[in-house]
Amino acid sequence: MSDPAARRVVVHGTVQGVFFREATRRRAESRGVRGWVRNNDDGTVEALFEGEPEAVDAMVRFVHEGPGAAQVKHVDVEDIQPEGLDGFDVR
């Protein structure tokens, strides 16, 4: 098992009201990724992913596309220190 990775992402585009948070939660849980996802007041979706580096990378790739109805314009990605989170929450 490798050291955990953590990334914070902010997803811009048509990403609210398109099942983005729930799709992200389901994908994260299926990959064993911990963290959270939330809508921001400015219309973006923000998430924190923590876990095995390969699984975290897969989540970052997923949010670049999002669920079918989403129209992702761009994604800000920041490497951060793992916090030791437990589970995955929709906020």
Indicate which residues carry an active-site annotation.
21, 39
DSSP state of 4: P
Helix (H, G, I), strand (E, B) or coil at 68: coil
Angle at the Cα of 22 from the Cα atoms of 19 and 25, rounded to 5 degrees: 145
CA atoms of 84 and 78, how far apart (whole Å):
17
Q: What is the DSSP letter of 62?
A: H
8 A C-beta contact, residue 46 and residue 10: yes
